[in-house]
Amino acid sequence: MENLQAILQSATPVLIDCFATWCGPCKMVPPILKEVKDKFGESLRIIKIDIDRNQQLSAQWQISSVPTLLLFREGRLLWRQSGVVPAHQLIPLLQQQLS
């Protein structure tokens, strides 16, 4: 996988799904992200990050609960939310952040 910093700095917005394999609610997120990907296509990149395998990132981003979604563009954190957000709420939120 290409360098995460390079991905975060790009002009293409990046939605990061911070999850853990032991997290029950995290298992509800993939179908939601599929709907988001279907809506945004190539205009939004989606990455999943396992917080247990990437503890330094978890600390850097102060992830205290999972799932947590982070939205970056050009290296800036635009939006973050913990918990499961249904697609019908997440899509307009992302559209608002990216407009």
Q: Which of 22, 3, 1, 7 is nearest to 71 (CA)?
A: 7
Q: Which of 4, 7, 20, 23 is catalytic?
A: 23
The domains of the chain are located at 4-98
Rounded to the nearest angstrom, the gap between the alpha carbon of residue 16 and the centroid of all alpha carbons in its chain is 2
User: pLDDT digit string (tens) for 26-56?
Assistant: 999 999 999 999 999 999 999 999 999 999 9
Looking at residue 4, its pLDDT comes to 87
Beta-sheet pairing, 45-50 with 14-19: parallel
Q: Percentage of the chain surpassing pLDDT 90? A: 93
Does residue 17 carry a pLDDT above 70?
Answer: yes
Q: Which of 8, 14, 26, 32 is catalytic?
A: 26
| 18 part of the active site | no
In this prediction the pTM is 0.94
- Taking domain 4-98, whether its CATH number is 3.40.30.10 is answered by yes
Does residue 61 carry a pLDDT above 50?
Answer: yes
